[in-house]
A and B are shown apart, each in its own frame.
Chain A
Amino acid sequence: MRVAENLNAALHGLLDDDPTAYLLGEDILDPYGGAFKVTKGLSTRFPGRVIGTPISEGALTGVAAGLALTGNTAVAEIMFGDFVALAFDQLCNFASKSVSMYGRRLPLRMVVRCPTGGGRGYGPTHSQSLQKHFVGMPGLSLYEMSPFHDNRAVFAAMLERGEPCVFFEDKVLYTRQMDLVDPLFRVRGDGDLAVVELHDADDYPDCVIIAPGGMAHRALAAMRSLLVEQEISCRLLVPSRLYPLDVEKLLPFVGDVVLVAEESTAGGTWGSEVAHLLHGRLWDRLRGPVRLVHSRAEVIPTAAHLESQVLVGESTIHHAVREALRG
């Protein structure tokens, strides 16, 4: 099953199970079914609860927050995650505060979906990964879609938190198969965390790569070339929840060389938050500081050959691992 189908099925299941669940977004109604077809079939099955909205991310996120505030479950789709910046005020100053500023905790069941990331030639304003701008906001949780986490379970976990969540969905994943990996590797799930490693993996790999879902295949491609060319063995950790990060969950799987890979541009990244958390726990055990791999601090070009120079690719990770092992 492809990731987009899995996500579509998760939304069907959510609306099926929860009569208070609403879905809002631009162009999400059938027959179009959303720019990436993730909401396909939903408006036909659940008329009245799947709501096509005007082009105003601030408005649709605000309505979703209002629905959640009044006891409903709300899922909002930002057509391209870049435009979640227009909903920043609703998330930062309204939804996340609403959980705790009314004298007692007020659970909000709300998810804002953000198709994210480049690699498709969509250019500067439709290709960004804005995760880092939402890190560290009290009352707001960040998740990222992955081919190794069933979206139904992830949605259940997000809604169970009772606070607004932003769900980043790397666009390149939509057409990929769930749980599909190079036969060299095996995937095991440990709750929120997916661990991908060689079948005959050492308990102590040369390097541990922490990367969210959209980066996973690039990391795995690098892991293959590192193994074949240099006999370097790596383990990949894919957390579903980016923030707050459950660092305790990571600890049993990390060794003395750790690298965090993400598509966000350099500077003030999610990876630096992960590195900081790990340094606090593992400083005496690490061979060097946790390495960060991210895209260049540049506007993302449209032309494919220029875009690939800016965004993190397999070779970026490959070189970073070699560099980390050398240093």
Chain B
Amino acid sequence: MADIRVPKLNDNDTEYLIVQWLVEDGRPVGAGDPVAVLETSKAADELEAEESGYLHHAAALNTWIAPGAVLARVTSQPVPPAGEAGAAPALSSAVPAPAVTSPASPETAVTSPASPETAVPVSAVAESTIPQAPVPGNPVLGTGASGAGASDIEPVVTDPARAAMEELGVSHDQVTALGLRVVRRSDVEALAGHRSGAPAVSRAEAPARRGPRTPDADDTAGTHRLSRVQRAVARAVTTSHDTIPAAYTVMKFEVGPLLERARGLTREVRRPVGLVELFVQAVAGLHPRFPLFFASIDGDEARPAEAPYIGVTFDMGEGLYVPVVRDTGSLRGIADTLMRYRLAATEGDFREQDLAGATIAVTLHTDADIVLAIPLIFPGTVCALAITSPQRELVLGEDGAVTARTVANIGLAYDHRLINGRDASRFLAALRSELES
């Protein structure tokens, strides 16, 4: 047995950092082979084994070690020296070795097959030299020229794909069976579509993927690439139209008094209040009386929602977003939330939780002169309310006198499997009286 002791490497330092093991614990080592890299205040230095045998680490990676201390031991047999189980007790500052130095995981064995002859474990070397912390959960590195076939390897499943697996009930085995290196959301959706008999969209055909395009190619003329946000919209629209049989009912609301009230409330709550804020509050107020309008459909069953979470559409030119107003308790709270969302929509700067969990949607079509807009029903909900822009119109009074009023067409798109026209008109009428109250 021979000790590998840390030599004095310079006059400046009293201890050096163990930045890398070049030979794994318990592996064979030849005389003259470098076994570890130590770093001084100025430079990195390799220490070599003086004898051949089996190397046993006596200090942990990323710990400091003083000149003269035992770094490792070389034994003639592949068994560790008696009483040694890793870090030497004398090195009180040594911390337990991080996972990096543990034996190769099954994943490592597959993607970077370190043969017994390989003195340097590929994964350990690569990881320990990354200046930043390794990517959590993704510590495995392999050669770019890896010969492993795509179907042999554990795929990387993106976070959006994981969410889709949960949503659509697709199992890990199913996505593994695809034989892809990377499983994206569109792959999971294609799988789910295939299973339910709907046309499967292969990756090549999916809207998110495009054919070859070189910068100077002529085919760029006349094509328009969907933005990332628009691709998400496209998915929602497609799913909605594929799965939700929608119907639509429009009712005319007189909104003049409402607009007047909004101006007063703006002063009162010291936040901008408009039709949107009032509608969000009123729609939320209908939840106890119309629970099915806030439900989701699962086969032959409808699951009512516990609380009215109101999705509101925003398109400030950066794409369509549907952030969710969860706290509908006070008008001030609603106005606060919507103002934050307006700002976020200009930057596309939403948090994940802002966009999840709507139980109904309020869609805004308030550009001048819009009289009708039929919103899509977002997958997972059964209703979408559309607010169009207020218009002035003439009214013939009972006495024949002509007056003017301000109206807006308020529409409700609804899932006809659950809601019928009568319910829709009752809902709209209730909404109108809620707003007038």
Is there an interface contact between B132 and A221, defined as CB atoms closer than 8 Å?
Answer: yes
A10-18, A65-73, A194-202 - interface stretch: A194-202
Cα separation A175 to B132 with both chains bound (whole Å): 15
Beta-carbon contact of B132 and A183 below 8 Å: no
**Surface stretch bound by A, among B140-148, B268-276, B411-419:** B140-148
Do A183 and B141 touch (CB < 8 A)?
yes
Given A175-B20, A252-B214, A313-B131, A231-B184 contact (CB < 8 Å): yes
Would B46 and A180 count as touching, CB distance under 8 A? no
Contact B130 A177 (CB under 8 A): no
Pick from A122, A175, A177, A187: contact of B42, CB under 8 Å: A122
* Partner of A221 from B120, B135, B181, B185 at Cβ < 8 Å: B135
What is the chain A residue whose CB lies nearest that of B143? Answer: A180
Chain A residues positioned under 8 Å from B19 (CB to CB): 175
Q: How far is the CB of A256 from chain B (nearest CB, A)?
A: 8
Shortest CB-to-CB span from B111 to chain A, Å, is 5
B180 CB–A CB distance under 8 Å: yes
In the assembled complex, A243 has its CB within 8 A of some CB on chain B: no
Judge whether A120 is part of the interface by a CB distance below 8 angstroms. yes
**Surface stretch bound by A, among B87-95, B155-163, B393-401, B426-434:** B155-163
Which residues in B have their C-beta under 8 angstroms from that of A228?
138, 156, 158-159
What residues of A have a CB within 8 angstroms of the CB of B156 in the complex? Answer: 184, 227-228
Return A296 CB to nearest CB of chain B, in Å: 16
Cα(A183)–Cα(B113), bound, Å: 12
Say whether B126 contacts A176, CB under 8 Å.
Answer: yes
Interface presence of A155 (CB below 8 A): no
Q: Chain A 18-62 against B: per-residue CB contact (8 Å), 1 yes, 0 no?
A: 000000000000000001110000000000000000000000000
- B348 interface residue (CB < 8 Å to A): yes
Measured CA separation A205–B76 after assembly (Å): 54
- Is the CB of A190 closer than 8 A to any CB of chain B? no
Per-position contact with A for B214-239: 1 when CB-CB < 8 Å, else 0? 11100000000100100000000000
Picked from B37, B39, B132, the residue with its CB within 8 Å of the CB of A313 is: B132
Task: Give how many B residues have a beta carbon under 8 Å from the other chain's beta carbons.
Answer: 57
Please pick, from B135, B140, B318, the residue contacting A225 in the complex, using a CB distance under 8 A: B135
- Residue B97 at the A interface, CB < 8 A? no
A174 to B37, CA, bound (A): 11
| B201 in contact (CB, < 8 A) | no
Contact B140–A183 (Cβ < 8 Å): yes
Q: Which of A119, A122, A171, A183 contacts B146 (CB 8 A)?
A: A183
Asked if A218 contacts B131 (CB within 8 A), the reply is yes
Q: Tell me if B122 counts as interface (CB < 8 A to partner A).
A: yes
Closest residue of chain B to A315 (Cβ to Cβ) is: B132
Digitize A230-263: 1 where CB-to-B-CB distance is under 8 Å, 0 elsewhere: 1110000000000000000001101100000000
The listed residue (A199, A218, A230, A308) touching B150 by CB distance below 8 A is: A199
Residue of A nearest to B138 (CB): A224
Closest Cβ neighbor of A178 among chain B residues: B143
Q: Which residue of B lies closest to A4 (CB)?
A: B44
- Residues A203 and B213 in contact in the complex (CB < 8 Å), given A181-B144, A183-B141, A227-B156: yes
Task: With a 10 A CB-CB cut-off, give which of B140, B158, B160, B225 has the most chain A CB atoms.
Answer: B158
Instruction: Please provide the chain B residues from 1 to 37 with a CB less than 8 Å away from any CB of chain A in the complex.
Output: 19-20, 37
Indicate if A291 sits at the interface (CB-CB under 8 A).
no
- Bound-state CA distance A229–B45 (Å) is 38
Q: Does A279 contact B (CB under 8 A)?
A: no
User: Taking CB as reference atom, which chain A residue is nearest B140?
Assistant: A183
Q: B160 contacts A35, CB within 8 Å? A: no
Contact A224 B135 (CB under 8 A): yes
Among B204-212, B280-288, B321-329, the stretch in contact with A: B204-212
Across-interface contacts of B209 in A (CB, < 8 A): 202
Residues B182 and A200 in contact, CB atoms below 8 Å apart: yes
Write the nearest CB–CB distance from A311 to chain B, whole angstroms.
Answer: 8
Closest residue to A179 on the B side, CB-wise? B144
Given contacts A36-B43, A326-B348, A180 and B144 within 8 Å (CB-CB): yes
Q: Across the interface, do A231 and B158 meet the contact criterion of CB distance under 8 Å?
A: yes
Known: A282-B215, A326-B349. A176 touches B125 (CB 8 A): yes
Q: Are A184 and B182 in contact (CB under 8 A)?
A: yes
Bound-complex Cα distance A5 to B120 (A)? 13
What's the minimum C-beta distance from A38 to chain B, rounded to whole angstroms?
11
Q: Which residues of A contact B132 (CB under 8 A)?
A: 218, 221, 308, 313-315
Q: Which of B112, B211, B215, B348 has the most CB of A within 10 A?
A: B215
CA distance A228 to B210 in the complex (A): 20
A183 touching B111, Cβ below 8 Å: yes
Rounded to whole angstroms, the CA-CA distance of A326 and B346 in the bound complex is: 10
A183 adjacent to B138 (CB under 8 Å): no
Tell me if A206 is interfacial: C-beta within 8 Å of chain B.
Answer: yes
Complex Cα spacing A315 to B136, Å: 13
Instruction: Looking at the assembled complex, report how far the CB atom of B141 sits from the nearest CB atom of chain A, in whole angstroms.
Output: 6
Contact indicator B125/A2 (Cβ below 8 Å): yes
Known: A183-B111, A183-B142. A252 touches B181 (CB 8 A): no
A285 to B19 alpha-carbon distance, docked (Å): 45
Question: Given A36-B44, A218-B131, A227-B156, A326–B144 Cβ distance below 8 Å?
Answer: no
Q: A227-B156, A227-B158, A315-B132 are in contact. List 5 more A-B contacts (CB 8 A).
A: A37-B45, A120-B131, A183-B153, A202-B210, A314-B135
A residues apposed to B, CB below 8 Å:
2, 35-37, 119-120, 122, 126, 171-172, 174-177, 179-187, 196, 198-200, 202-204, 206, 217-218, 221, 224-225, 227-232, 251-252, 254-255, 282, 285, 308, 313-315, 325-326
A/B interface sample: 13 pairs, CB < 8 A: A37-B45, A122-B41, A171-B44, A175-B20, A180-B141, A180-B143, A181-B144, A183-B140, A183-B144, A183-B148, A200-B181, A202-B210, A218-B132
